[in-house]
């Protein structure tokens, strides 16, 4: 019985095993981003569509769905963060620095992974306090009155009001820019670490990685920019 646990220990302690954990948790987070973006873009479909979606998220599996997702994401995020910090610390101490440093082909995004990642961490903490906990705001009191007279939380108005603050938008755009950089190297790295990259697929994987990063970037920044630059939805919240 001790054999399986020992192989697992060796796997988690090995450099490749740790990288595989980072890749798998990274993949889960990458797929979450696609889902999150798709849902968020419903904001452009109007108040009813967006609030229906928000209500659905909170009511799926009798309200358990959102908590299953939250716990799962927290576990993935924590493991991703823990192992990348561990690996980065080992990497930084693996040699004495060259006095003449040179980079041949490593892309810039790959050199700043830990910094783009930590900025994303800071952003997520802010983002959760802002829209999930709604700390220091009156967002929880925003209500949409339904045709039958009942009320539900007006998530649509919360987003419009939230992104009417230029400082929030600036931080959001900076964080998304670094997320784009993180993804452009990260998505391709998932394929390499899981052993799915070959000479033939190397080109398409690099392209897919960059394209995915750009789609996620443009998709996410389109919302705050539409609100703050083009006044999207602002007449509704006055």
Partner 1 sequence: MSLLNLTLKVWRQENAKSEGRIETYEAKEIPTSASFLEMIDIVNERLIQDGEEPIHFDHDCREGICGMCSMTINGVPHSKERGITTCQLHMRKFKDGETICIEPFRANAFPVVKDLVTNRSAFDRIIASGGYISVRTGSAPDAHAIQIPKADADAAFDAAACIGCGACVAACKNASAMLFVSAKASHLNHLPQGQSEKDQRVLGMVRQMDEEGFGNCTNQFECEAVCPKEISASHIAKLNRDYLAASARDSVS
Residue 111 interacts with partner 1 (CB under 8 A): yes or no: yes
Cβ(51)–Cβ(155) under 8 Å?
yes
Q: Which of residues 67-96 bind partner 1 (CB under 8 A)?
A: 87, 90-91, 93-96
CB of 30 to partner 1, least distance (A): 15
Residue 2 interacts with partner 1 (CB under 8 A): yes or no: no
Residue 39 interacts with partner 1 (CB under 8 A): yes or no: no
Residue 20 interacts with partner 1 (CB under 8 A): yes or no: yes
Considering only 19, 130, 153, 157, the residue that binds partner 1 (CB under 8 A) is 19
Residue 103 interacts with partner 1 (CB under 8 A): yes or no: yes
Residue 63 interacts with partner 1 (CB under 8 A): yes or no: no
**Interacting span for partner 1 (CB under 8 A) from 14-22, 26-34, 44-52, 116-124:** 14-22
Beta strands in the chain (DSSP E): 143-145, 151-153
Residue 185 interacts with partner 1 (CB under 8 A): yes or no: yes
CB of 172 to partner 1, least distance (A): 27
Q: Which of residues 186-225 bind partner 1 (CB under 8 A)?
A: 188-189, 191-199, 202
Q: Which long-range contacts (CB under 8 A, 24 or more apart) does 42-47 make?
A: 43/156, 43/159, 43/223, 43/233, 44/226, 44/232, 46/156, 47/144, 47/154, 47/156, 47/157, 47/233, 47/236
- The gap between the terminal CA atoms of the chain, to the nearest Å, is 66
Distances (CA, A) of 57 to 10, 65, 68, 234: 39, 7, 11, 25
Q: Where are the alpha helices (DSSP H) in 41-148?
A: 47-59, 64-92, 108-111, 113-127
Residue ranges in contact with partner 1 by CB under 8 A: 3-4, 7-8, 10-11, 13-20, 87, 90-91, 93-107, 110-111, 113, 185, 188-189, 191-199, 202
């Amino acid at each position: 019985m001790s054999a399986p646990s020992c192989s697992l220990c060796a796997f988690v302690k090995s450099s490749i095993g740790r990288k595989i954990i980072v890749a798998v948790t990274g993949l889960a987070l990458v797929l979450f981003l696609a889902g999150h973006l798709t849902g968020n873009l419903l904001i452009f479909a109007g108040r009813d569509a967006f609030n229906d979606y928000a209500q659905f998220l909170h009511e799926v599996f009798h309200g358990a769905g959102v908590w299953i997702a939250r716990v799962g994401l927290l576990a993935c995020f924590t493991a991703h963060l823990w192992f990348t910090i561990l690996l980065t610390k080992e990497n930084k101490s693996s040699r004495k620095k060259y006095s003449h440093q040179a980079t041949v082909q490593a892309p810039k995004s790959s050199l700043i992974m830990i910094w783009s990642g930590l900025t994303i961490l800071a952003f997520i903490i802010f983002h959760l306090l802002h829209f999930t906990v709604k700390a220091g705001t009156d967002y929880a009191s925003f209500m949409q009155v339904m045709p039958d007279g009942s009320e539900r939380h007006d998530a649509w108005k919360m987003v419009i009001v939230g992104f009417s603050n230029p400082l929030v938008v600036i931080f959001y755009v900076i964080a998304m820019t670094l997320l784009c950089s993180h993804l452009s190297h990260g998505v391709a790295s998932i394929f390499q670490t899981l052993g799915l990259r070959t000479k033939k697929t190397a080109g398409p994987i690099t392209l897919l990685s960059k394209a995915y990063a750009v789609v996620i970037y443009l998709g996410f920044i389109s919302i705050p920019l539409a609100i703050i630059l083009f006044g999207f939805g602002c007449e509704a919240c006055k």
